[in-house]
Structure 1
Amino acid sequence: MTTSSTPSAEAPAAGCPYRLDVTGSDIHGEAAALRERGAATRVLLPGDVPAWAVTDPGLIRRLLTHPDISKDAARHWPAYTSGQLPADWPLRIWVDVRNALSAYGEEHRRLRRPLASAFTARRVRALAPQIETLVHALLDELQNAGPDEVVDLRARFAWQLPLQVAGAILGVGEDLRDDFRDAAGALFATDLTPEQAQEAPARVYELIGRLVEQKTKAPGDDVTSGLIAAHQRGDISHPELLDSLVLLIGASHETTVDALDHGAVNLMTHRDQLTRLLDGEIAWEQVTEEVLRHQAPIATIIMRFAVADVVDEPTGLTFAQGDALVINYAAAGRDPAVHGPDADQFDPGRPTARDHLAFGHGVHLCLGAELARIEIRIALDALFARFPDLQLAVPAGDLVPLPSFISNGHESVPVRLGRPAA
């Protein structure tokens, strides 16, 4: 890939920009439609904000490692720096924050540094026994329901485990945990009115303020206390402290919730694959990767910006300086060129299962990727070992998707547990 002053190219499928569905009603139908228009195509975000949607896995990797592709709207998005972006734009929180997710170059390295030590492979793997304890406690609570009683697996299991794990890592007490659960989810909704979109981050910042106050008075061996110490040393500003916690609370929770949600649904609706797992023919590590490939928990991530004109030679596309880009991981995960003509099928034995981009790529690769993998593997293994007859209480087609083109999950997952294993 090279930089050039060539004018921005048209997407292969010419015509009107594709307006993304803010309700997220058909994540994979939309992803397929975008793939049909080429490796990247023009789209409209809420408020008719123009962007490129990038769907091709190869192009995604090239762009996410290109030095002239930034995540810093304050430096590299003319619509933002010139004041063209409305103050009440519904997705503004995603570009207003000052944390590792939205930083570029040395700023990114500076803001990522205080977080990285908490998510080393050694420290994360040491959490496995604690995660197992939390999982079995949640399953014990579920087991209080009768075998034929309908329970919401998302609310009572998929939501709860990442919430408790994130709480332990960040030092969030039980007095704040449920409030964070309710508030953080709203940050991923893309169908909010401008008023609702302003209320959601305000509530999150209110809770973060309370958390920082608590941990300043009583620091512990947790990430929040570490960030407070970094602020006190002058390594990060107070707004960067708060925004780093916004990133951690959202990223450490939402991805894993949606992966557990879809993982359970896929196994309930593919009993043949579940049997192979329970019989030991397939490892749970394999099913974890296939869940992440088949149902990317973050369907579309916003936003990136071209620092200079960027020409992608393999596709012939040019992204002009200042162009905004969104990355469609849902489309990349089901690309037939990578995963074959049956890419839409759930198959834990698929040899390309691990070749996905669910956690991103390049310098912004998700810090919590290994933690999420461990949570998913332990949780799904224990869930189906305890409840091997677990089944949906409604047809799979009746599950209601989250109102978001960012977050890929369901509003609820009603199930009948069946009788627990002896």
Structure 2
Amino acid sequence: MWVVTGYAEVSTALTDRRLCKDSARLRAIIDRATAARLDGSRVAETVATDMLNSDPPEHTRLRKLVVKGFSARRIERLRPLVQQITDDLLDAMVARAADGTVDFVDAFAFPLPLTVICELLGIPRADQRSFRAWSTVIVGSSSRDDLRRTTTALGGYLAQMMSAKRSAPGDDLLSDLVEASDTDDRLSPLELVSMACLLLIAGHETTMNLLGSALLALLRHPDQFAKLRTRPELLDAAVEETLRYNSPAPVTTWRYAAEPMTIGGSPIATNDIVLLALGAANHDERFPDPDAFDIERQSTGHLSFGHGIHFCLGAALARMEAQVALGRLIERFPDIALAVPADELRWRPSTIMHGLAALPVRLGR
């Protein structure tokens, strides 16, 4: 495949309609190019038949069904809930800290966004733990057998949940999708489950990675952490700089060229696969001293949420969660520190997600 890394080239490619994402054609292209065929079963389609892996007009139809669920008004309505969940988790961190040490990812960065997206979708909190295991397999470097088993389990659970929402709808996004499917016949059963899968995984994976990376960046740059403690008005800018500095999703999902084209002077043939490296673009020289972490930087224009028609639907939610979470965390634990040397930290094995496997910290006073 082609990997595109320059900011100008990535930004332009994100809006180029000649680079397509239709999952069925993409699977066919990869099938022809590899000896081992991708699984063409409906199980594999469960995590592919969604707006992230489609082109207009299908993408337009699918996105229209969920965009209202992520409106600015609905996101703002969630702020008190995010604040409450954050405070509860911070209390729990103290309770579970052994000798003042706790894994920030497991105790906070994972449960916060998962609880929020489950509340938005209408999924019981008691079922949330299963989603971490499922999500880790789907976004990680897993075998085909593991992926098949996981998508079967997740797809089956979501199908049952849709059936329950049909019988007893609630004030949640899954109920809205079921109603749209039943009333207007705009979502097939496969599209319904696939959409729910996308919202659930994308809704917590990226924010979990963002929270862990934000805290790590601050702890590794004590001058910036000190600046944020004394100037809390820089919190929003610190979140944006973290998104640029350590992109939670460093690459896009695959695209293919629908016709011959040129990117950065390189000729791209029809059906060539193209991967857009958002993380690399965010470290382009468009940003002065791009490898420095600077919370006073003007980070606007970073590509961590994409660009164009596939711009991340949950960007406002992720930003709000990170702002609330980091603000409360710093107020509660101003002396928080790494509990292990930074070079001992490990990142999760994944191509499409960039997040810490664990982040042991000392809470301080």
The TM-score bracket by the shorter chain reads over 0.9
Indicate which of 221, 224, 236 corresponds to 1:285: 236
Q: Which residue of 1 aligns with 2:283?
A: 334
Post-superposition CA distance 1:330-365 (Å, at most 9, x none): 111111x2112x3112111112x2221101110000
Partner-residue secondary structure (3-state), 1:305: strand
Post-superposition CA distance 1:202-231 (Å, at most 9, x none): 222122123213222221111101111121
Q: Which residue of 2 aligns with 1:356?
A: 302
How far is 1:249 from its partner? 0.7
Mapped to 2, the partners of 1:339 and 1:95 lie a distance apart of 38
Q: Which residue of 1 aligns with 2:20?
A: 70
Mapped to 2, the partners of 1:141 and 1:281 lie a distance apart of 24
Partner-residue secondary structure (3-state), 2:169: coil
- Tell me if structure 1 keeps the 8 A contact 2:5–2:278: yes
- Tell me if structure 1 keeps the 8 A contact 2:241–2:297: yes
Give the 5 Å matches for 1:39-50.
none
Partner-residue secondary structure (3-state), 2:239: helix
The reply to whether residue 217 of structure 1 matches residue 167 of structure 2 is yes
- Tell me if structure 2 keeps the 8 A contact 1:166–1:252: yes
- In structure 2, the CA distance between the partners of 1:344 and 1:292, relative to structure 1 (3 Å rule), is same
The reply to whether residue 135 of structure 1 matches residue 81 of structure 2 is no
Give the 5 Å matches for 1:245-284.
245-280=196-231, 283-284=234-235
Mapped to 1, the partners of 2:303 and 2:275 lie a distance apart of 14
Q: Which residue of 2 aligns with 1:7?
A: none
The two structures, once aligned, show a CA RMSD in angstroms of 2.0
Mapped to 2, the partners of 1:107 and 1:167 lie a distance apart of 26
Indicate which of 140, 147, 163 corresponds to 1:189: 140
Partner-residue secondary structure (3-state), 1:338: coil
Q: Which residue of 2 aligns with 1:236?
A: 187
Q: Which residue of 1 aligns with 2:325?
A: 379
Indicate which of 260, 266, 277 corresponds to 1:317: 266
User: Which 5+ residue runs of structure 1 have no aligned equivalent?
Assistant: 1-50
- In structure 2, the CA distance between the partners of 1:368 and 1:281, relative to structure 1 (3 Å rule), is closer
Q: Which residue of 2 aligns with 1:5?
A: none
- Tell me if structure 1 keeps the 8 A contact 2:15–2:309: yes
Mapped to 2, the partners of 1:320 and 1:307 lie a distance apart of 9
How far is 1:52 from its partner? 1.1
- Tell me if structure 1 keeps the 8 A contact 2:27–2:38: no
- Tell me if structure 2 keeps the 8 A contact 1:95–1:102: no
Mapped to 1, the partners of 2:363 and 2:150 lie a distance apart of 34
Mapped to 2, the partners of 1:174 and 1:282 lie a distance apart of 33
How far is 1:126 from its partner? 2.3
Indicate which of 115, 118, 130 corresponds to 2:69: 118
Q: What is the identity percentage for the equivalent residue pairs of Structure 1 and Structure 2?
A: 33
Partner-residue secondary structure (3-state), 1:176: helix
- In structure 2, the CA distance between the partners of 1:170 and 1:291, relative to structure 1 (3 Å rule), is same
Post-superposition CA distance 1:283-319 (Å, at most 9, x none): 100000001000000112221111111224xx32222
Mapped to 1, the partners of 2:176 and 2:78 lie a distance apart of 18
Q: Could you say which structure has the higher helix fraction?
A: 2
Mapped to 2, the partners of 1:204 and 1:224 lie a distance apart of 15
Q: Which residue of 2 aligns with 1:346?
A: 293
Post-superposition CA distance 1:365-411 (Å, at most 9, x none): 00000100000111011011100111111011110110112111111
Compute the TM-score of the two structures, normalised by the length of structure 1: 0.81
Post-superposition CA distance 1:72-92 (Å, at most 9, x none): 132366524759561359xx9
- Tell me if structure 1 keeps the 8 A contact 2:44–2:151: yes
How far is 1:141 from its partner? 1.1
**Bigger Cα displacement from structure 2, 274-283 vs 379-388:** 274-283
Q: Which residue of 1 aligns with 2:339?
A: 393
Runs of at least 4 residues of structure 1 off by over 6 A? none
Give the 5 Å matches for 1:80-99.
80=30, 86-88=37-39, 93=44, 97-99=48-50
- Tell me if structure 2 keeps the 8 A contact 1:55–1:331: yes
Post-superposition CA distance 1:60-114 (Å, at most 9, x none): 121111121111132366524759561359xx95896111001101010011111
**Bigger Cα displacement from structure 2, 80-89 vs 406-415:** 80-89
What is the number of equivalent residue pairs in this alignment?
361
Mapped to 2, the partners of 1:147 and 1:75 lie a distance apart of 52
How far is 1:325 from its partner? 1.1
